[in-house]
Amino acid sequence: MTATERIAPPPRPGNLIERYRATHLQPGDGVSTIVTMPTLHNWVEQVYKAFGVDFPTGANERVLLGVRESSRSAAEGQADTYGSGSRPGDSGSLTAKGGGMVVDGTTGFNDLLFLVWTTSTPEEETSARVYRCTVDPGGTESTLGTPYLLEGKLYETEPCTHGRRAIPARRIYTGGSGSVLLARERTKRHRVFSRVEHGLVRSGAERGRFIETEANGTIHIHPFWNGYNADLLVKNWSTGCTVLGHDADSSVYTDFKSQMSAAANGSAVPYLVVASRYIHLPDAWARLGRDDPKALEDPKTVLNTTGLVRAPAGYGYLPSILGASFGSDVLAFASAVETVLAGLTNPTLPGLSSAIDRVLDERDGFEGLRTPDRLERFRAAVVIGEPASPEDAAGITTVLAPLPGNLRASLRRACFNTVIPAAGTPH
């Protein structure tokens, strides 16, 4: 009798599976097949390593992974199959509110949250849960714009209560309790930043900081509200949180609370967010080891390089919440602002007229330039070869000077690195 080695997709989560357990199947034709089954714990570990994030493996230490635009399905008793999507996976519709038309912020449960742990060591046994969820927010009334979690960045979570019912939940934080790294989309109408105006948030010295670590303790992992979810949409009752597609009284959420309560690292359970477009989901990843299971020990195997989008200027890779051209547009706009500032006293500066026009395209984002319209007056002065008036030069400088540095710094914060370096990225 001969033996051949094959690899099978990860088994359904919730089972106790030995690390890369091998078993013999007897198909009845005199050939024994050794099937090596990598677990969801293995897969999540490789995703963490692929993004350079520490992966806890101690007994009862929990680990969370959110995957944007992903889903799962399986017939009863069969291995899970996983599907991927692309942004924008959610779209808010226009509805009447307060006499005007606004986005209601509807968000579908089209993401997955993975929870994995071991009760002893990964070599002995591992466990996993997979939850339907949304990593994206519902509606928001914030003047700062809609908040989004960043991909490829390490977050941590701690116990908290959520909402008026004080439901046990998990607070998401960065660096220390009460602060969190967030992207802010100014218009509150888009799931993908595709124009510079989407990042023109905040004011004063913080103008253009569309990604910032905020003093904010309200970004949680929590269940949906009972009675609000008949159509399986997150509406205007969750801003920036990760919402499980299970109500607070469900057996699934009860189990989630139980598992998190049992976490040995309960006050600092790591949480990483990625997108399905640039990783191989568990079943597809397992198939990559069909011929050589040991190949899966390399974190590179979990990355779908065709889905990674390089950021400009060697910043790394763009997360899925930023459009492919957004990074280059931000950098070009920052350069245009610098040209305008330098041209306030030098009206013959090359490229000044086009730079002013570029900034004028975004003037709705600059309250201090609209009334009076200082840029328009400066544009007219440049036509006749004159500098800006001292008053207009001072006003334009006040509004525009913080922008170039803040925009570039925000773009740099947005991008992530992997074990496959992007071109020009220090690694």
For residue 9, the model assigns a pLDDT of: 44
Residues 169 and 131 in one domain: yes
For residue 78, the model assigns a pLDDT of: 63
Residue 129 lies in a domain: yes
Bridge partners of residue 274, in order along the sequence: 67
For residue 307, the model assigns a pLDDT of: 96
Phi/psi of residue 37, nearest 5 degrees: -115, 100
Phi/psi of residue 223, nearest 5 degrees: -80, 170
For residue 182, the model assigns a pLDDT of: 96
For residue 5, the model assigns a pLDDT of: 43
Q: HEC profile for 169-235?
A: EEEEEECECCEEEEEEECCCCCCCECCHHHHCCCCHHHCCCCEEEEECCCCEEEEECCCCCCCCEEC
pLDDT higher for 361 or 67?
67
Q: How many domains does the chain have?
A: 2
Indicate whether 331 pLDDT > 60: yes
Lowest mean pLDDT among 51-60, 133-142, 329-338, 347-356: 133-142
pLDDT higher for 7 or 212?
212
Mean pLDDT on 234-244: 80
For residue 371, the model assigns a pLDDT of: 55
Among residues 278, 307, 336, which one ends one of the domains?
307
Closest to 269 (Cα-Cα) out of 260, 278, 277: 260
Lowest mean pLDDT among 20-24, 52-56, 217-221, 400-404: 20-24
Mean pLDDT rounded to a whole number for the chain: 84
CA torsion, points 187, 191, 197, 203, in degrees to nearest 10? Answer: 60
H or E stretch at 399: helix 390-400
- List the end-to-end C-alpha distance of the chain, in Å, as a whole number: 49
Residue 24 lies in a domain: no
For residue 323, the model assigns a pLDDT of: 92
Indicate whether 230 pLDDT > 60: no
Residues 369 and 294 in one domain: no
Provide the strand spans (E) within 39-166: 63-68, 70-73, 81-84, 94-97, 100-103, 107-108, 111-117, 127-134, 146-149, 154-162
Residues 146 and 223 in one domain: yes
Q: What secondary structure letter does DSSP report for 394?
A: H
Indicate whether 263 pLDDT > 90: yes
Residue 421 lies in a domain: no
Residue pair 201/212 in contact by the 8 Å Cβ criterion: no
Residue 209 lies in a domain: no
Residue 350 lies in a domain: yes
Which of 33-37, 294-298, 335-339 reaches the highest mean pLDDT? 335-339
Q: What is the distance between the alpha carbons of residues 379 and 360, in angstroms, rounded to a whole number?
A: 10
Q: What is the distance between the alpha carbons of residues 394 and 83, in angstroms, rounded to a whole number?
A: 54
Residues 231 and 118 in one domain: yes
For residue 410, the model assigns a pLDDT of: 97
Residues 245 and 276 in one domain: yes
pLDDT higher for 134 or 230?
134
Tokens of 153: 């960045």
Mean pLDDT on 327-339: 96
For residue 189, the model assigns a pLDDT of: 79
For residue 367, the model assigns a pLDDT of: 63
The fraction of the chain above a pLDDT of 90, given in percent, is 58
Structural domain containing residue 105: 40-178+216-307
Tokens of 156: 């941590």
Confidence of residue 87 (pLDDT cuts 50, 70, 90): confident
For residue 232, the model assigns a pLDDT of: 65
For residue 54, the model assigns a pLDDT of: 96
Closest to 2 (Cα-Cα) out of 25, 24, 31: 31
Tokens of 337: 């602002």
Mean pLDDT on 309-327: 93
pLDDT higher for 338 or 134?
338
Cis peptide before 88 (omega within 30 of 0): yes
Tokens of 106: 């509807």
Residues 287 and 169 in one domain: yes
pLDDT tens digits for range 184-212: 998 887 889 999 989 988 888 898 999 99
For residue 363, the model assigns a pLDDT of: 77
Tokens of 176: 């220390």
Residues 338 and 302 in one domain: no
Among residues 307, 342, 372, which one ends one of the domains?
307
Phi/psi of residue 248, nearest 5 degrees: -65, -25
Confidence of residue 100 (pLDDT cuts 50, 70, 90): very low
Indicate whether 294 pLDDT > 60: yes
